[in-house]
Structure 1
Amino acid sequence: MSMGAKPSNNHAATEGKGWWRSPFSVFQTNLQEVDAVMDVEQVLDIIEEHGADTWLINTGGIVSFYPSDLPFQTRNPFLGDRPSGDLIGDAVKAAHKRGIRVLARCDFSKMATRIAQDNPDWLFVSPKGEPQIYNTLYSACPSADYYQHRSLDILDEIMDRYPVDGFFFNWFGFSETDYSRVYHGVCHCQKCQTTFAEYSGGKELPDGPGHANYPEWLRFSNGVIRALATKISDHILSRRPDAALVLSRGAPVIYYEANNAFGRELWHHSTSENVSAHMTGLPEVSLMVNSVSFVDMPYRMAGEQPEHFAQYLLQAIARGGNPSTYIMGAPGRIPYANLPLAGEISRFFRDHKDMYGQLQPGGGIALARPDRLRAADPGYEDSVEEFRGLYSAFKEKHIPFDVVGADLIAKMDAEGLLGKYRLVVLPDLGALGAGAAAALDRFVEAGGNVVLTGSSGVTGHGGVELASAPSIMRVGTPDKGQALWATYVSTSAQPEAQAFHYAAPTIPVYGSYAHFVWKPNAERIGVMLPQAPFGPPEKCYGHVTGGEPAAASASRNGSVIQIPWSVGRTYREFGTTEIRDYFLDTIRGVIETPVAADLPEQVEMIVGRDQSGLVIHLINQTGARRKSFGPHVPVEGGRLHISGAAGTAELLVSGAPADIRNSGAGIEIALPRLDLYEVIRVPLAR
């Protein structure tokens, strides 16, 4: 998801009237200059066959694909080889004849040398006082006049000439890093120096992530982009209320890019995570998931593995996003072997738009993820690892859950969205803030349950933010690193530990362990076995139970379970089933779900709701590789157990008749062979 995605300030954009508030599917042609002569009818044939209803096409900014008359635009030199001299005019006219919408892609991040030399005050300036130049193009600063004012002139020229259905801005942010991954630093142009000083009370503008003021600059820069997004959105909607604006934050349509990259660890569930975090906290703002068909930007002609590309689309639609396929160049010029499979999924989405238009999160458990605006703060990466470990635990055991943004908890409470859940899990997030803490206390008072791991809900000075927590305060700083090696927890009292004889389980503790003062009425769960020598084996003595618990809980109308160590990070690092099952067993009493599954761990089950009941997506991830997904292994003999079901079900992908039998207060569905994915629609009894 975008860093710092927040509610849109533009009420006209989110009141539900725009075309983008209904399901849509996009095909993006990311054009080179030579594509100005492409056959638009041929492209539209491909887009229609793919199952898309919206075409995202390069229009203005770095190069204009129409005959711009503005002195700060650079006309595509190949337009002269096109009979009409106007690619955008031809594309919009032909697309609208077929009922296909057109989104105009603009990129204001860079400009030609001529324009830069005439307007040096528009440019990014490095901490060394140098411009950022890439392939003869100069990077612009979002604080300066090109972004702030001239971009509106470009949009006006486009809207004056063409009835486009919306706009998408590429690279809409501060250009700290270029395409070659060279880090240039924080912009030090005069406008940035002045505005950051005003924002921060006169603090020094940082040069990069190593500077103490960088976390504050991240919040400042996010505010600049959000304010600019609102300004542009208001401008577009004042002229064209039927036109969307697609940005990574602060717009009527939020854009998330599903991509891969060499040199970056692959998180196989990234798309699912990001879409879920958006749809739970910002349901009033549409989400477009742009899936990249190539392996990475430096290798745009190398297609992504088809099964990997399919995961982008499947995870997107299962969580409520609108799918988009993004290719380089005019279709057919570069071979992308993933497009046929992508087309199958896009057509499935098209054929079931009525269902996807109703789809809402339905996991029952809310797993909070760290606030992206804290990415430069100490401990952020550890929180991400904790989150991913707990995500994997729920996913592997087919316990339905949704992801929520930690920064959106207070908003969700105010809008009644938090109350849809019975359990909220907070993975070693640190301080939550007064608003989120109060929201969670109200949630518990109303009968909800909360699980805290590590130092979630704890300030930097050890204060416990939740009044409903079983702890009073944290003592000192958490044990970390080597200070935790050879430390364990157990649900057994370990009565024979003095004789060096241990009962199962003995769970390793990795990452951090926080020491708390517990309330007198807190129920202590399990024991900790403090660190003892771990080598050589002849001298490995000393694991006796101390006074610290493995976890603790407190109950009011609901309950709070506090696990004072990073159990998710431990599972993420070691990967043993015993760690995962320890966590799930510890919180078993507060897990309530209408759906259970007998399926391999490698099948992701995502549960949503529509007006009639449940919509269950099963995504086969048996092909998971270190850096991609390969061909899947078909799964036979799977079963679903659904409480409160009405006794019928539809299998929308295979079309097979549902093999159902009554089971207790619900039904059991014997699944047919599961290939790449299946979608099951299950009405609930009313």
Structure 2
Amino acid sequence: MSGENERDRKSGGTSFTGEDGWWRRPFSVFQTNLQEIDATMDVEQTLDRIEAQGATTWLINTGGISSFYPTDLPYQTRNPFLADRPSGDLIGDAVAAAKRRGIKVLSRLDFSKVSPRIAKEHPEWLFVSPKGEPQIYNTLYSTCPNRDYYQNRSLDILDEVIDRYPIDGFFFNWFDFSEMDYSRVYHGVCSCNVCRERFATYSGGKELPDGPGRPNYAQWLSFANDLVTTLCAKISDHISARRPDAALVLKRGAPIVYYEANNAFGREPWHHNTSENVGAHMTGLPEISLLVNSVSFIDMPYRMSGEQPEMFAQYLLQAIARGGNPSTYIMGAPGRIPYANLPVAGQIQCFHRNHHEIYRGLRPASNIALVRPDPVRRAEPGYAQSVSEFRGLFSGLTERNLPFDVVAVECISKIAEEGRLSQFQMIILPDLGQVGSDTASALDAYVAAGGNVVLTGGSAITDEGEGELATGPAIMRAGNVLTGSDLWSTFVTDAEQTQSDAFCFAPRMVAVYGTYANYVWKPRAEKMGRLAPQAPFGPPEKCYGHILSDHPAAVRLINGGSVTQFPWTIGHTYREFGTTEIRDFFLDCVADLATPTVTAELPDQVEIVVGRSDAGLVIHLINQSGMRTRSVGPHLPISGGVLRIKDGVGPARLLKSDKEIEGQTEDGALVLELPELGLYEVVVLPEAAQ
């Protein structure tokens, strides 16, 4: 990836942020994802529902696959049901009615597919599979982002809408390469002549891959990401030039970045997905607004089956807690399809709307950072284990009520350049592998200035086995990495183990799973704990023989600040086994590296998110006691909770309970005894505004 493209990715792909745009203030969205038959919908009734849901913005289908206005462009398809509407123009009616109420309108466009007529007239616009075939789904032909329809005709469509209606912004659906269709059938990467030529130029002459698992696919993902990001910036600049008061909403390269909170059958559940993604965006790209569009149905093949209300509540709460703008997404005109999540969604979105002064400028304010693996590397070996490591550590921090912020690894050097890395006392890198020279330099400077870095697994180790951090304790890897069954029945301990020669062990003996690597350590490095290498684990009569080695559980090197390295995947181990002993072994080892601003006496099932806005210190408490394996059920009320805010000054406002409490000062901390915690609470300390 070129340096220019890497900078684009870190900055969101565009220099346009619209500091004075309406989207830089808190807003809330309601999306009606329309079917063709909704062309006759009652816009006034719809706006009544939108206002009741607490939304300030309406996202509505406008054009692309089907135009809900009387388009005159030959490469658009008018919705045939517009003929049954008295005005013949749903968008004109919707925009006029919304403007009368002060509701903003976002137009949804979809350039991913065209009708058979357009496909026949312009076969050069189409996706071509590795077998040379088009991709056809429900009569529609998929298009290629490299071709003229995406690259230029999309601008013509935008111009037609801009010329006719005072739209406040645009959202492009499925703005990417169509490797897979709605039925999850994989068609491969687009193999049209333009894609082949441009990938060859990008990669230095390499052959275009067929799909995942093929040579060069990881590089193709980077190619596709860069191409779409560049196109996003081009379109965003076009909209800005034509209508500066309108924004573009896309997954990258736009003034408003879009994240979809959703569920899917067959996918491993991760109930903190929204918190993770919103957190990574807000630490890395706080200058770009984030829209979190939460899906009201359980999955695309089941659009009339509503999401569990408590699950949906987590989407919205995790979004607003970390600074995202909430959105509820339904199919069709409101009331035509039953969605049980809408009452709780309305309550949360009304809460957000009623407290815009609290959420304006809300930014991350924790002093612990957990670094997320780069999703662009998802085709590379080891990525799945990195994600598991990240999620295990995420869960451990959350369960111990330790507030932390998520940082995207690809944004570390940007955050450092902006002087914001010093916000953190501790930065945790979970088995990320090679991080690159820019990130390594930023972390070295951070450590030299007194910061603390924690590495687990193979973080900041090159593919050849060298340590990337000059401030790190490892010089190089020694020997092969232990993994799989070679690591079974392996343990680490932090106890003295005075009777280990007799195979009698004191607590803690902590399981090691995933990977463990030996390193050549720098002379000044301090070793912590010891490894008990593999011994027989079956049958029971032969299960003994563990002899403690000199290999460590962790190693620390102090260089102004410090770098602590766990040469094994302790987060992955915790995610696999889930024992408190594993979690606490890690957190106890790093406990002296950061002093959280907020601590609590609360159950494991409460997520604490600390932010700061012009209104003061903002603390979200999210009750996650209802979490199930695949969903979220009703929460349990939690009594007797206590918050301690370092250097805090009362009184504190409890927004959900509508109370004000003074608290008391103990050892330099403001101590708040909380009332019964329901689904959530938001604690604001106005005196901490500065």
TM over 0.5: yes
Aligned to 1:203: 206
Equivalence for 2:11: 7
Cross-structure match for 1:349: 352
Match 2:41 to one of 33, 38, 41 = 38
The Cα of 1:318 is off from its aligned counterpart by 0.1
1:671 to 671, 674, 680: 674
Residue 541 of structure 1 corresponds to 544
Q: Secondary structure at the match of 1:59?
A: strand
Question: What is aligned with 1:451?
Answer: 454
CA contact 2:527–2:555 (8 Å) conserved in 1: yes
Q: Could you tell me how far 1:246 is from its partner in structure 2?
A: 0.2
- Which residue of structure 1 lines up, in the alignment, with residue 310 of structure 2? 307
Q: Return the match for 2:443 from 432, 440, 444.
A: 440
- Which of 219, 226, 229 matches 1:226? 229
CA offset at residue 542 of structure 1?
1.8
1:99 Cα shift? 0.6
Equivalent in the alignment of 2:365:
362
Contact 1:647 1:666 in 2 (8 A): no
Pairing 1:66–2:69 present: yes
Q: CA deviation at 1:77?
A: 0.2
For 1:617 and 1:657, locate their aligned partners in 2 and report how far apart those are by CA, in whole Å. 16
CA deviation map 1:409-428 (0-9, x unaligned):
01110011211111100000
- Is residue 569 from structure 1 mapped to residue 572 from structure 2 by the alignment? yes
Task: For 1:8, give the aligned amino acid.
Answer: G
Alignment CA distance shift 1:543-1:425 (3 Å): same
Question: How far did residue 476 of structure 1 move?
Answer: 2.8
Aligned to 1:602: 605
Contact kept? 2:651, 2:662, Cα under 8 Å: no
Deviation of the 1:6 alpha carbon: 3.6
Equivalent-residue separation in structure 2 for 1:540 and 1:44 (angstroms) = 69
State the TM-score, normalizing by the size of structure 1.
0.98
Q: Is the 8 A contact 2:360 2:614 kept in 1?
A: no
Kept in 2: contact 1:398–1:604 (CA 8 A): yes
- Checking the alignment, whether the CA contact within 8 Å between 1:108 and 1:140 is kept in structure 2 is yes
Q: How far off its partner does 1:477 sit?
A: 3.0
Contact 1:8–1:14, Cα closer than 8 Å, also in 2:
no
String of CA shifts for 1:157-192, please: whole Å, max 9, x gaps: 111111100100000000000000000011101110
Structure 2: distance between partners of 1:19 and 1:6: 24
Q: Give 1:484's aligned residue.
A: 487
Deviation sequence 1:354-381 (CA, Å, 0-9, x none): 1101311011111001001100000000
Deviation at 1:9, TM superposition (A): 4.4
What is the aligned partner in structure 2 of residue 272 from structure 1? Answer: 275
State the Cα distance separating 1:49 from its structure 2 match: 1.0
1:149 to 128, 148, 152: 152
Q: Distance in 2 between matches of 1:684 and 1:165?
A: 36
Q: Which residue identity lines up with residue 59 of structure 2 in the other structure?
A: L
CA distance in 1, matches of 2:346, 2:192: 45
Question: CA offset at residue 242 of structure 1?
Answer: 0.6
SS of 1:264's partner is coil
Offset at 1:300?
0.4
Q: Which amino acid aligns with 2:11?
A: P
Kept after mapping to 2: 8 A contact 1:645/1:683? no
How far the C-alpha of 1:640 sits from its partner, in A, is: 0.6
Q: Is 2:459 the counterpart of 1:427?
A: no
- Which residue of 1 is the match for residue 174 of structure 2? 171
Q: How many residues align?
A: 683
The answer to whether the aligner puts 1:520 opposite 2:523 as a matched pair is: yes
> Bigger shift: 73-82 or 495-504?
495-504
> Per-residue displacement from partner, 1:14-52 (whole Å, max 9, x unpaired)?
141211111110000000001000110110111111111
Matched letter for residue 517 of structure 2: A
Asked if 2 retains the 8 angstrom alpha-carbon contact of 1:493 and 1:527, the reply is no
> How far apart are the structure 2 equivalents of 1:105 and 1:651?
37
In the alignment, which of 375, 385, 396 is matched to residue 393 of structure 1? 396
Q: Does 1:532 find its partner at 2:535?
A: yes
Structure 1: distance between partners of 2:650 and 2:126: 64
Secondary structure in 2 aligned to 1:674?
Answer: coil
After superposition, the Cα gap between the structure-2 partners of 1:514 and 1:280, relative to the gap in structure 1 and judged at 3 Å, is: same
Name the aligned partner's letter for residue 586 of structure 1. Answer: C
CA distance in 1, matches of 2:86, 2:497: 84
Code of the residue aligned with 1:255 in structure 2: it is Y
- In structure 2, the residue matched to 1:102 is 105
Contact 2:397 2:404 in 1 (8 A): yes
- Aligned 1:582-621 pairs, distance under 5 A: 582-611=585-614, 613-621=616-624
Give the corresponding residue for 2:197: 194
CA contact (8 A) 1:6 1:250 kept: no
**Counterpart residue identity of residue 416, structure 1:** G
Deviation at 1:680, TM superposition (A): 0.4
1:254 counterpart letter in structure 2? V
1:252 pairs, out of 234, 252, 255, with 255
Q: CA deviation at 1:8?
A: 3.5
* SS of equivalent residue, structure 2 residue 344: helix
Give the counterpart letter for 1:133 in structure 2.
Answer: I
3-state secondary structure, aligned to 1:14: coil
Preserved contact between residue 114 and residue 141 of structure 2 (Cα < 8 Å): yes
> Which residue of 339, 343, 357 maps to 2:342?
339
> Does the residue aligned with 1:47 lie in a helix, a strand or coil?
helix
With the length of structure 2 as denominator, give the TM-score of the two structures. 0.98
Give 3-state SS (helix, strand or coil) of 1:476's partner.
coil
1:634 counterpart SS class: coil
1:50-83 alpha-carbon deviations (Å, 9 max, x no partner): 1111100000000000000111100000101101
SS in 1 for 2:158: helix
Task: List runs of 5+ in structure 2 lacking aligned partners.
Answer: 1-5
Q: Which residue of 1 aligns with 2:299?
A: 296
- Structure 1 residue 662: Cα displacement: 2.0
Unaligned runs of 5+ in 1: none
- Asked whether the 8 Å contact 2:358–2:615 carries over to 1, the reply is no
Matched residues in 2 for 1:647 and 1:199: separation?
57
SS for the counterpart of 1:367 is strand
Whole-Å separation in 2 of the counterparts to 1:506 and 1:349: 47
Counterpart amino acid of 1:448? G
Superposition deviation, residue 659 in structure 1: 5.9
How far does residue 331 in structure 1 lie from its aligned partner after superposition? 0.4
CA distance in 1, matches of 2:615, 2:452: 27
Aligned residue number for residue 578 of structure 1? 581
The answer to whether residue 128 in structure 2 is matched with residue 131 in structure 1 is no
Q: CA RMSD in A?
A: 1.2
Find the counterpart in structure 1 of residue 419 from structure 2. 416
Contact 1:6–1:249 (8 Å) recurs in 2: no
Q: Which amino acid aligns with 2:285?
A: L
8 Å CA contact 1:124, 1:140 repeated in 2:
yes
Q: 1:504 aligns with which of 479, 503, 507?
A: 507
Pairwise CA distance, 1:202: 1.1
Tell me how far apart the structure 1 counterparts of residues 167 and 661 of structure 2 sit (CA, whole Å). Answer: 44
In 1, Cα distance between equivalents of 2:107 and 2:293: 15
Distance 1:612 1:45, change over 3 A: closer
User: Offset of 1:470 from its aligned partner?
Assistant: 1.1
Task: Give the distance between the partners of 2:75 and 2:49, measured in 1 at CA.
Answer: 34
Secondary structure of the 1:121 match is: helix
Give the 3 Å change call, closer, same or farther, for CA 553–298 of structure 1 in structure 2: same
How far apart are residue 206 of structure 1 and its match?
Answer: 0.2
Residue in structure 2 matched with residue 626 of structure 1 by the alignment: 629
Residue aligned with 1:205, SS: coil
State the one-letter code of the partner of 2:317: L
Aligned to 2:85: 82
Query: How far apart, CA to CA, are the structure 2 residues paired with 1:235 and 1:149?
Result: 11
Q: Which amino acid aligns with 1:419?
A: S
Give the deviation of 1:5 after TM superposition: 5.8
Report SS of the residue matched to 1:358. Answer: coil
Number of the residue aligned with 1:215: 218
